[in-house]
Structure 1
C-alpha cells in the first residue's frame, strides 16, 4: 500500500516515466477504474482530466499551475472569439491568446537565451531573476520557489502549441468551442501525450471526446503492439547504445578518434529516433487502449530522399503545425513580408555573431541586406527570394523551439538550407526521376548523412564542445584503429545495425509483422510482451534515461 501511495504522490526524484515499472502500476490502476466509468461521457472526461492533472503533478509539481492557467485562459478566449461578431475583435482576442501563450513560453524557456544574447551583444552583465517566483513567495511566510533560477516546466512547448491552435482554429471557423471546461481541460492535458507530444489539434481530438468508446480486439492488438514497439525503440535502440557508447564519446570527444566520433553521430541518429519515436508509439498505444486516436508522429524518417521529405516524416505534428500556423500565414512560398525580411536580416547578424565576431556578423548581415535591396530592382530575384525566405524563417524558429540556444538555431538553419538547396538541385539532378534502386539508395544515404551531421549542433553541449568534435574529425580520424573500435564496441554496433535494418524494412514487411501480432492468440501476445519486458529491462542502464524531448 505504501508503494502505491508513493506512486500516486509527488516526488521530484521519481517522476512517472513510461519506461519505469511505477508508471505501469499507475496505469493499471487508472485503466481498471476507467473500465468502470468509460461509458459515462461526462464522468469519463472528468476522470481522465483529473488523472492527467495528477500525472502532470507527479511530473512537474507546482508547475501544474501554469497548465491550469493556460487551460482556463484559452477556454474563455475561445468562447469569446466564437461569440464575437466583429472580425477586428476576433483578431484582437486571437492575438491576446497568442501573446499570453507565447509570452509564458518565452518567460520560462527563453529568458536565459535572450538575456545571454543581450549581454553578449552589448557587453552587459544582466542576470535572470524569477520575478514570478518572487511574487509567489510574497504570498506566504516560506520561500517556496527559488528566485535566482527559472526552471523549464515539462511539456510546456507542446501544450502551449495545442492551446494556440484551439483559439486560431475557432477564429478560422474550423471548430466550435467546447461547452465544458472539463472537456477542454481533458483535451489540453491528456496524459499519454502531455509532456512530449505528439502535438494534438483540437479539430482532430475534440470530436473524440463525446463519442461512444468501443475498443475492438484489433485496436487492442494495435495498441499493445505500439507500446511494445515503443519500449524496444526507447530502451534497446536508444538507451542501451547511449549508455554504453555515445555518452562516453560525446562527454569528451577529444579523447576519441575522429572515426569514433563519427560512429557516435550515426549512433545518435538512431538514439534520438528511438527515444522520441518510442515515446510517441507508447503514447499512441496508451491512448488507443482508452479509445482515443492520436496522430502518427513519425513515418520512417530515415527513408527520406531529401531534406524536405525528412521533415514530412519526422515529428510530423510539429512540422505540420509550423506549416499551418507559421509558414503559410507569413506568406508561404508565394511572397515575403516586412516581417520576413527583418527577421532574416536580424537572425543572420545575431546567428553569425553568436559563433564569430562582430565584424564577420556585420559583413554577413550586410550581404543579406544587399540581396534584399537587389530584390527591389529584380522581380526574378525577388521571386526566388520570396519562395525561400519563409522556409528559412520556419526552420530557424523550429530550431529555436527545440532549444533556447544559438546552436539549435544553427541546426534549424542548416536544415532550412538543405531544403532550399534541394529545390534547385532537383532541377539539374541526373537521378531525380530515376527509378533505379541505386539512385534511390544514393538519395536516401545522402539525406541521412546530411541530417546526421547537422545533429552535432543538436547533441553538442556547447559551441566549444562542437568545435572539439569537428577538430577530431578533421585532424585525427585514426583509420588504423577503426577495426579495433568496431570490435571493442561490437555489441553496441550490432544493436545499432539491427535498429537501422528494422527501420529500413519495407512497409509491407512491417505491416505483415504487425498484422501477425494482432491476429495472434492472447497467450502469444502475453509471451511476446513478457519477452520484450525481459529484454528491455536486462539492457537498461543503472539509472533510467529520461526522454530527450522532455527538455523541450
Structure 2
C-alpha cells in the first residue's frame, strides 16, 4: 500500500531539500503547471491566477513560510505605488517613495545584515552582543530590487502603476526568476501578461535549448568542479601548492559562470515556453577586453539596475571626473555588499569599483582612435580575465584571512614541477573545466543556427534529447546536493 503520509510530505516544505530547478519534484511541479497554464491560456485572468498560485507554492517549497514576506512586499508596494501615482504634491510623492525605500531596504537589512553589524559593533566597541537567530529568506535581494525599481519608475513617471494586484504579485513572485533572477523590470514584464498566449516554434526550440544546456552547465560542469576540486582548495588553501590554488581560481571562474548563467538560462527558457520574454543575463563575459565591458556582459540585469538606480542618481558622470570616479566606486561597493554581509564581498566590490575608475581614467588619458589588432585584443582580454579571476578569490573565500592565504600560496608556493602529479589527480576536472570554457565561448550565432535546426525537429527528437540529458545528469549527480551559488544572495 502507498504510505499517504510520506506522499503528502513530498508537497510540504523540507528545509533539507528545498525546491529548485535541479530537484526531482520540480519535474512534476513544472509539468502540472504547464498543463493548467495551457488549459487556461485563452483566459488572461485565469492563467495569471494559476501562475500566481504555482509561483507562491514554489516559493513555499523553496523557503517555507517566508512566502508571506513576498506577499507582504507585493501588497505594500502595490498600494504605495498607486498612492504615489495619484498624489499631486511632489513633496508627498517623495515622502511615499522614501517610505518604500526605507521599508524595502529595512527588510533586506534586517534579514541580511543585522548580524554583520552586530559583529562590527562588537569589534569596534568591545561589546558582547549576541548574534540573532535570523534565517535569510531565499531571493530577498532580487525581489527587493524589483520592488524598488517599480516604485522609483512610478515616481519618475516612467511607468503607470497597474490596477490588478494579481499581475503585480505575479511580477514579483514569478517562479522562474524569483529565487535567483534575472532582476526584471515591471515595465518590461507586466505588459506581456495581458497579451494573447502564443509560443512560436522559435520560442519552444530556444526554450528547450536553454533549459537543457542550463541544467548541463549547473549539474554537470559547475557541481562536478565544485565538489571534486574547488571546494577542497578554497576550504584550506595553505595545504595546497600555488599551482593548485591558481587552477582553483580559474576553476571557480567557470564554476560561478556555469552555476549562475545555467540557472538564468533555465529561467529564461521556461519563461519562453510561457510566452514571456526575460532578457539575457550573460553575454560571453570572460571575452571582455576591459572591466567596463565585463560589467556589460556579466549579470547584466544587476549591472543595469546598479547603473540606473544608484550610479545615475548619485550624479553619474555629470559632475566632473573625480565625482564620476567616486560614484562608480560607491556603486560597486554597494553592489559588492548586496551580494552578502561579509568584508570579502565589500573588498570584491571595492576592487571592481577601483578597476572601473582606473579604466575610465585610462580611456581619457589614452583615447583609442583606431581599431586594435588581434594580439593587442588578446592581451587586453587576458589582463581583464585575470583581474576578474583574482577578484573571485575574495568572492569565494569564507574569510579575509583565507583569501590572503590563497593569494600567498600562488605567489610564494608556486611550483610547476608538480604539474604531472596534479594532472594525473585532476585530469577529469580539467577536462570538465575545458568543456565549461568551450560552452562559455560558444558564439550566439552558432546557438541560433542550432535552435533553427531544432525548430524543424520532430517531437521524438526532443524526447530523445531530453532522456539522454537526464541520463547524463544522473551520472554526475552527487550524494551531496550543491546549492546554487546565488541562492545565498
Q: TM-score range by the shorter chain?
A: over 0.9
Alpha-carbon offset, residue 230 of structure 1:
0.3
CA distance in 1 between counterparts of 2:435 and 2:487 reads: 26
2:141 matches 1:170: no
2:229 alignment partner in structure 1: 245
CA distance in 1 between counterparts of 2:290 and 2:347 reads: 19
CA distance in 1 between counterparts of 2:315 and 2:365 reads: 27
CA distance in 1 between counterparts of 2:226 and 2:129 reads: 37
Task: Give 1:419-498 correspondences, 5 Å limit.
Answer: 419-427=356-364, 433-498=370-435
SS at 1:312 equivalent: helix
User: Number of residues paired by the alignment?
Assistant: 486
Task: Give 1:106-121 correspondences, 5 Å limit.
Answer: 106-121=109-124
Alpha-carbon offset, residue 397 of structure 1:
0.2
CA distance in 2 between counterparts of 1:319 and 1:4 reads: 43
SS at 2:68 equivalent: helix
Alpha-carbon offset, residue 512 of structure 1:
2.3
Alpha-carbon offset, residue 522 of structure 1:
2.4
CA distance in 2 between counterparts of 1:7 and 1:529 reads: 24
Q: 2:36–2:50: 8 Å Cα contact kept in structure 1?
A: no
2:54 matches 1:54: no
| TM-score (normalised: structure 2) | 0.96
CA distance in 2 between counterparts of 1:283 and 1:506 reads: 20
Q: 1:34 aligns with which of 37, 43, 55?
A: 37
CA distance in 2 between counterparts of 1:510 and 1:40 reads: 34
Following TM superposition, where does structure 1 have runs of at least 4 consecutive aligned residues deviating by more than 3 angstroms?
1-7, 426-435
Alpha-carbon offset, residue 111 of structure 1:
0.2
Task: Give 1:151-162 correspondences, 5 Å limit.
Answer: 151-162=135-146
| TM-score (normalised: structure 1) | 0.85
Q: 2:268 aligns with which of 274, 284, 289?
A: 284
Q: How big is the alpha-carbon RMSD for the aligned residues of Structure 1 and Structure 2?
A: 1.6
2:61 matches 1:77: no
2:476 matches 1:536: no
2:298 alignment partner in structure 1: 314
Q: Deviations over 1:172-214 (max 9, x none)?
A: 1111111121111111100111010001111101101111111
Alpha-carbon offset, residue 432 of structure 1:
8.0
CA distance in 2 between counterparts of 1:433 and 1:509 reads: 29
2:136 matches 1:189: no
Q: Tell me: CA distance 1:526–1:321, structure 2 relative to 1, closer, same or farther (3 Å).
A: same
Q: 1:59–1:154: 8 Å Cα contact kept in structure 2?
A: yes
CA distance in 1 between counterparts of 2:50 and 2:445 reads: 39
Q: Deviations over 1:110-159 (max 9, x none)?
A: 00111111221222222234xxxxxxxxxxxxxxxxxxx01110000001
Task: Give 1:108-507 correspondences, 5 Å limit.
Answer: 108-129=111-132, 149-335=133-319, 383-427=320-364, 433-507=370-444
Alpha-carbon offset, residue 508 of structure 1:
2.6
The structure having more radius of gyration, on CA atoms, is 1
Q: Deviations over 1:406-451 (max 9, x none)?
A: 1101000101111111223345569884442222111111111110
